[in-house]
């Protein structure tokens, strides 16, 4: 008798991904994971439009969906969650499983014990990579007033080192994907009650938006209502680490959470007392590039995960298999009728797990 797992494809697959990582890394990863699992994928890449009227009909042809949703559409309506609800409603009709990687407001908590210049380098790179248009970009910073005062000049110097004193002419700074999203970011900046200390310049004809840092931001500010998904970095001040953790826990669970600190005790405390799709200390974004770690959200930031082994498992079906012959048939008579009271004890013994015997299976 032998027990084993049999990994097989979970049949047809489709993926909806976005434009934000050129080349579309999520698309390539999902295709690779799906191909390794043995099932041919069918993908809607970011440059193909999937009309809403065809969405429900399309589901009848595919047995698994992976979705990486778009950024916020307008106002305070998080687009990723809005699109996810449409996907889930259509998938439910056909009992189609869905893996969602959505996004959200990813916090970056910076403690007072930190290498401020290194923190400025890593924060600026993670935030303004792809002009802030990344689902795992730090969305806002939580730090003390003293840390904020030290961080601002370090960020100013870092941004000049990265993108020169005239970032509009810098070839290393991207542009906003569309006029609609440029307008959305401009409206957010105008509605904010915070104070712009770095950047703030923009040009619609070029879809240019300068790396922008804002201080004196309150919890109910317009910038805190939705995922920013652009090069605007609000800094909120806190009095203690505990206040920062409490702030994070009041919000929806983010796709990523970052903490910058020289003290491992601070990192451990934040890790143990919060929940997020992913976690990274003293850096940003890079955790999602590691094939040895699963990547995915939790709660409002999505569910399911992929990358490496986890992508293979997500897009596969794990079938349980029991392979046995015809031996021990006389013992099987205990489970055949007619039933007798004096056989009940033996029957219970045969169906109970036997440690280190027959691969931890029962005799029956």
Dist CA 9 CA 312 (whole Å): 9
At residue 58 the predicted structure's pLDDT band, cuts being 50, 70 and 90, is very low
80 three-state secondary structure:
helix
203 three-state secondary structure:
strand
- Is residue 101 flagged as an active site residue? yes
At residue 354 the predicted structure's pLDDT band, cuts being 50, 70 and 90, is low
Among the residue ranges 95-99, 261-265, 340-344, 359-363, the one predicted with the least confidence is 359-363
Highest mean pLDDT out of 88-92, 97-101, 140-144, 313-317: 140-144
In tens, the pLDDT along 103-127 reads 889 999 999 999 999 999 999 999 9
DSSP secondary structure string, 29-63? HHHHHHHHHT--EEEE-TTS---HHHHHHHHTT-S
Residue 250 has pLDDT above 70, yes or no: yes
Give 77's DSSP letter.
B
Instruction: Give the residue carrying structure tokens 């689902």.
Output: 135
Residue 84 has pLDDT above 90, yes or no: no
DSSP secondary structure string, 286-351? GGGG-TTS-B---GGGEE--BSHHHHHHHTEEEEEEEE--STTHHHHGGGSSSP-GGGHHHHHHHH
Q: Closest Cα to residue 224, out of 259, 193, 182?
A: 193
Q: What pLDDT does residue 31 have?
A: 52
- Its sign, for the CA torsion 299, 300, 304, 310, is negative
Dist CA 258 CA 350 (whole Å): 52
Among the residue ranges 66-70, 225-229, 358-362, the one predicted with the least confidence is 66-70
31 or 342: which leads in pLDDT? 342
101, 108, 148, 226: the catalytic one is 101
What are the start-end ranges of the E strands in the chain? 2-9, 13-16, 41-44, 64-68, 98-101, 106-110, 138-143, 195-198, 202-203, 208-209, 212-215, 232-237, 256-260, 278-281, 302-303, 316-323
> Given phi > 0 = left and psi -120 to 50 = alpha, else beta, which region is 126?
alpha
106, 108, 135, 143: the catalytic one is 135
In tens, the pLDDT along 293-326 reads 999 999 989 888 888 888 888 888 888 888 888 9
Among the residue ranges 23-37, 54-68, 230-244, the one predicted with the least confidence is 54-68
- Is residue 135 flagged as an active site residue? yes
Residue 64 has pLDDT above 70, yes or no: no
340 or 26: which leads in pLDDT? 340
């Amino acid at each position: 008798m032998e027990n084993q797992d049999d990994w097989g494809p979970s049949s047809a697959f489709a993926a909806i991904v976005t434009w934000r990582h050129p080349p579309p890394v999520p698309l390539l990863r999902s295709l690779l994971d799906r191909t390794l699992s043995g099932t041919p994928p069918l993908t809607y890449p970011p440059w193909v439009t999937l009309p809403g009227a065809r969405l429900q009909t399309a589901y009848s042809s595919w047995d698994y969906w992976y979705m990486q949703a778009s950024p916020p559409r307008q106002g305070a309506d998080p687009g990723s969650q809005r699109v996810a609800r449409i996907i889930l409603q259509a998938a439910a009709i056909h009992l189609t499983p869905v893996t969602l990687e959505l996004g959200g407001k990813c916090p970056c908590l910076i403690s007072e014990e930190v290498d401020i210049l290194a923190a400025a380098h890593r924060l600026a790179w993670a935030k303004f990579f792809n002009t802030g248009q990344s689902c795992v970009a730090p969305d806002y910073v939580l730090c003390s007033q003293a840390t904020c005062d030290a961080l601002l000049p370090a960020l100013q110097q870092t941004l000049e080192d990265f993108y020169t004193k005239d970032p509009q002419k810098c070839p290393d700074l991207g542009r906003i994907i569309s006029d609609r999203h440029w307008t959305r970011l401009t409206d957010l900046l105008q509605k904010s009650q915070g104070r712009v200390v770095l950047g703030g310049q923009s040009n619609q004809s070029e879809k240019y938006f300068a790396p922008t840092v804002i201080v004196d931001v309150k919890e109910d500010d317009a910038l805190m209502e939705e995922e920013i998904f652009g090069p605007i970095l609000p800094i909120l001040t806190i009095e203690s680490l505990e206040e920062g953790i409490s702030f994070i826990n009041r919000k929806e669970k983010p796709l990523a959470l970052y903490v910058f600190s020289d003290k491992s005790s601070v990192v451990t405390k934040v890790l143990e007392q919060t929940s997020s799709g992913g976690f990274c200390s003293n850096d940003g974004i890079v955790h999602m590039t590691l094939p040895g770690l699963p990547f995915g959200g939790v709660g409002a930031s999505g569910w399911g995960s992929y990358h490496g082994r986890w992508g293979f498992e997500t897009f596969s079906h794990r079938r349980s298999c029991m392979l046995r012959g015809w031996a021990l048939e006389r013992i099987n008579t205990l489970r055949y009728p007619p039933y007798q009271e004096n056989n009940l004890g033996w029957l219970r013994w045969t169906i109970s797990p036997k440690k280190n015997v027959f691969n931890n299976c029962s005799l029956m």
